[in-house]
Structure 1
Amino acid sequence: MSSNPESRAIMRFITHNYHKPRTELVFEVPKQQGIAATWIDVEDHQFNPPAEQLRQELVDKTKKGLTMDKEVVAEAEAKLVKVLDVYEERLTHSKYLGGDRFTSADLSHLPNLYYLMGTPVKRLFEERPNVSAWCRHILSRPAWIKVVEMVEKNKAV
């Protein structure tokens, strides 16, 4: 479960071509589509790089019995803090990054959030009340819970 440019392109294609009108993930109004698309790009270029580094250092290396690079962790945390400060401000104006409803802009954050919430980096999210509420809300969505259950089930096999 990870994010990459190809999965974002696939997500955008599927959500725009196979959505049901007035349902989640895609806004039909062009301005709202643009706002959600902007936040997908923010996730891709600002959130994902430090989040991926933190996941690799704090999750992947731990699973492999390797020692994390504390300098890489500190640098990635500093970058992530800046992004989360922007998110905190954005989330004072809307429930979700893309607007008033859950969209692919929020969806694209789920893989890294899932892993980071199990690490000490969780505190960076919890220190920001709007970001914390947003994380709790999107991570508790029934469809996401099913994905996590499938992943956990497959790990056990």
Structure 2
Amino acid sequence: MVIKVHGIPLSTCTARVLLCLCEKGLQYKLVPVDVENSAHKKPPYLSLNPFGQIPALEDGHVKIFESRAICKYLTRKYNETRITIDLLGSSSLTDSTLVDTWMEVESHQFNPPTQACTHSLNKIIEIELRNLAKVLDVYEERLSEYKYLGGDFYSMADLHHIPYLVYFIRSSKSSFVTSRPCVNAWWNDISSRPLHRLKLWNS
């Protein structure tokens, strides 16, 4: 059975799932969702995600939504692939706990301000940029001690950041990343991984 991803590449959440599939070397089919005509808010798509958001994944009889949950599922199920990178740090309790911690940081601390800066009005952006600066200052300290957020190995904690950072780094606010040497080095590393050379954001 071919893994099906319902979404669009320009969606940051869809891109997160595609990056995970790419890291694991898994074959998949991207099923475009006509979001402009609100296809994701209507049947039959709502049978895949009752909240009407993208992406959704079908793997045989398994149907999953929420991009971060999808990534965990893919990593756990297909742990023994030809590409055996351990994105969840499951080789030790300490490693897996640190990866979990920084995945939570991405979801609750990093994602809200970057998402707001991408989609909101100028007044809101000013507030969220201040919030983001505080988060990135924490990252700078963490990355001065470790190569990656979860430790000295690339993990899901790093991968989850890539989609929004792609858009953010192309904006006029890219200095929030580039002015922090350790954060910038980390970004250059995770964004240049060979497996990420997908045509996700080339338009």
Q: Same fold (TM over 0.5)?
A: yes
By how many angstroms is 1:117 displaced?
0.6
- Cα gap change, 1:72 to 1:139, in 2 (>3 Å): same
Q: Deviations over 1:97-122 (max 9, x none)?
A: 01111100000001000100110121
Kindly indicate which of the two structures has a greater share of residues assigned to strand: 2
Do residues 7 (structure 1) and 67 (structure 2) align? yes
Equivalent residue for 2:109? Answer: 46
Alignment of 1:18-97 (within 5 A): 18-20=78-80, 23-27=85-89, 28-57=91-120, 69-97=121-149
Q: Deviations over 1:26-74 (max 9, x none)?
A: 31111100000100000000000001011114xxxxxxxxxxx221110
Runs of 4+ aligned residues of structure 1 deviating over 3 Å after TM superposition are none
Larger Rg belongs to = 2
- Cα gap change, 1:26 to 1:120, in 2 (>3 Å): same
CA distance in 2, matches of 1:70, 1:88: 26
Compute the RMSD of aligned alpha carbons. Answer: 1.8
Q: How many residues align?
A: 140
Partner SS state of residue 14, structure 1: helix
Unpaired stretches in structure 1, ≥5 consecutive residues: 58-68
**1 or 2 for the larger relative contact order (CA 8 Å, sep ≥6)?**
1
CA distance in 2, matches of 1:52, 1:30: 31
CA distance in 2, matches of 1:111, 1:25: 17
Q: If the length of structure 1 is used for normalisation, what is the TM-score? A: 0.82
Unpaired stretches in structure 2, ≥5 consecutive residues: 1-10, 14-53, 55-64
Do residues 17 (structure 1) and 80 (structure 2) align? no
Among the aligned pairs, what percent are the same residue?
Answer: 36
Contact 1:47/1:83 (8 A) holds in 2: yes
CA distance in 1, matches of 2:164, 2:87: 19
CA distance in 2, matches of 1:150, 1:51: 19
